[in-house]
Amino acid sequence: MNYDVKNIDLAQEGKRRIEWADNDMPVLRLVRKRFEKEKPLKGKRMSACLHITAETANLARTLQAGGADTVLCASNPLSTQDDVAASLVKDFGIPVYAIKGEDTETYYKHIKAAIEHAPQVTMDDGADLVSSIHSDYPDLWSSVLGSMEETTTGVIRLRAMERDQALKFPVIAVNDAMTKNLFDNRYGTGQSTVDGIIRATDILLAGKNVVVAGYGWCGRGFAMRCKGMGANVIITEVNPIRALEAAMDGYRVMKMEEAAPIGDLFCTLTGDIHVLRAEHFKLMKDGAIVANSGHFNVEIDIPALKEIAAECRDRVRNFVDQYVLKDGRRINLLADGRLINLAAAEGHPASVMDMSFATQALATEWVVKNAGKLTAKVYNVPFEIEDWVSRLKLQSMNIQIDELTEEQKEYLSSWEMGT
């Protein structure tokens, strides 16, 4: 079997982590159990470009249980858990191409290796795999039955391809499922971004001015958790509705230019480019901490920071590079501006990935079942999948909910009944 991982001898520790995560993934376990019996993905070649974490390993095991011949590569050079990658290869026989800290050349070499598996189904977190297939592998276009996309940034890229009629095969916007973004983006990113920042810096959040750029699902979650830990949270936004929502949720809302001199910690969660720029760095206090939890490492203009700095002290602490401006002020950049929750912590907790990845696995089954019927469009996850995942998650949490009575069903579907 071909693979490229850091050290295959790390497998034992990786297996322990995979099993620990699996304990908190009851819905995915149920999917896996059914897949083992029914083999809905039998014989299908799958390539998945995802963060190689313990939770992803459990998704890969589920796809494998369904009969898919699966290979994995990393969707980010810094997010791979090397022990998990080793265990996937050694204990589960799933080829993995991913090494934490790999350079850009290796990152794309790994994507290429996953594409050379000639996938019939693909899975992406940020659309790098699908983009590479579109630009460099035209021979594969007609054989891909469909592709699942895990994150907001990827869905934005794929919708742009659809708009420009550049999309060559069907894509399922798993990110847009409520069983994904409401929970994974909000509670998962919220908690794990705090976790990553604390692991990287060990700062006390209480009493700090935390500037959150972007009040989408991820920004809301992160702001909520920082507020809960006693920080004074400031939101910056470009969307007036989101800005209003932030204001009415009780946060201060202002322009980045105004927030820059006040903030102790800045975190971007926008999916946009150069949200923090030279003009902002120049206004920041000594010791300001700058991090990103959006998908790509372009939200912070790092080249501009390098340009205005007199000196860069690499790794003053793990995951912290310190840029010293000409007047001596220090700006601390975390994890090279890459997803802080995956670089410095372990990504989202398993319990929330349970919902995202159960949705992923079921969307994959849906694509295979509907092979030939789907066209080169971006599809939403069918409602039945979301309904099933949310009901089972509730069940696993021992939470019962009411059901509509016949009278209520009639009332809610009629227009004649009034007061």
Ligand X SMILES: NC(=O)c1ccc[n+]([C@@H]2O[C@H](COP(=O)([O-])OP(=O)(O)OC[C@H]3O[C@@H](n4cnc5c(N)ncnc54)[C@H](O)[C@@H]3O)[C@@H](O)[C@H]2O)c1
Cβ nearer to ligand X, comparing 181 with 209: 181
CA 15 to chain centre: 22
Whether 18 contacts 54, CB under 8 Å: yes
Is 338 one of the binding residues for ligand X (CB under 6 A)? Answer: no
Whether 79 contacts 53, CB under 8 Å: yes
The phi-psi region of residue 103 (left if phi > 0; otherwise alpha if psi is between -120 and 50; otherwise beta) is: beta
Out of 58, 75, 122, 293, the residue judged to bind ligand X by CB under 6 A: 293
Rg (the chain; Cα; Å): 22
Cβ nearer to ligand X, comparing 121 with 259: 259
Is 201 one of the binding residues for ligand X (CB under 6 A)? Answer: no
Which region, judged by CB under 6 A, interacts with ligand X, from 23-31, 263-271, 302-310, 315-323?
263-271
Q: What tokens were used for 136? A: 């460099």
Is 69 one of the binding residues for ligand X (CB under 6 A)? Answer: no
In the complex, least distance from residue 187 CB atom to ligand X, rounded to whole angstroms = 11
Is 270 one of the binding residues for ligand X (CB under 6 A)? Answer: yes
CB neighbour list of residue 293: distance below 8 Å, 6 or more residues apart: 189, 193, 196, 218, 222, 267, 268, 269, 339, 340, 341
Residues 139-198 that bind ligand X (CB under 6 A): 151-153, 181, 185, 189
Is 295 one of the binding residues for ligand X (CB under 6 A)? Answer: yes
Is 290 one of the binding residues for ligand X (CB under 6 A)? Answer: no
Which region, judged by CB under 6 A, interacts with ligand X, from 16-24, 38-46, 271-279, 353-361?
271-279
Binding-site size, ligand X (CB under 6 A) = 29
Cβ nearer to ligand X, comparing 94 with 300: 300
Q: What tokens were used for 41? A: 């993905």
Cβ nearer to ligand X, comparing 107 with 266: 266
Is 239 one of the binding residues for ligand X (CB under 6 A)? Answer: yes
Which region, judged by CB under 6 A, interacts with ligand X, from 292-300, 329-337, 351-359, 404-412?
292-300
Is 275 one of the binding residues for ligand X (CB under 6 A)? Answer: yes
First and final CA of the chain: distance in angstroms? Answer: 70
What burial class does residue 296 get, using C-beta atoms within 10 Å of its C-beta: 0-12 exposed, 13-18 middle, 19+ buried?
middle
Out of 217, 251, 323, 379, the residue judged to bind ligand X by CB under 6 A: 217
Whole-Å CA distances, 221 to 181, 184, 230, 266: 11, 9, 15, 15
**Bridge partner list, 236:** 213
Is 332 one of the binding residues for ligand X (CB under 6 A)? Answer: no
Out of 19, 245, 258, 272, the residue judged to bind ligand X by CB under 6 A: 272
Phi and psi at residue 148, to the nearest 5°: -100, 140
Is 237 one of the binding residues for ligand X (CB under 6 A)? Answer: yes
**Bridge partner list, 70:** 46
Cβ nearer to ligand X, comparing 64 with 151: 151
Phi and psi at residue 26, to the nearest 5°: -65, -30
| Cα–Cα distance for residue pair 167/146, rounded to 1 Å | 11
Interface residues with ligand X (CB under 6 A) are 151-153, 181, 185, 189, 213-219, 236-239, 242, 269-272, 275, 293-295, 339, 341-342
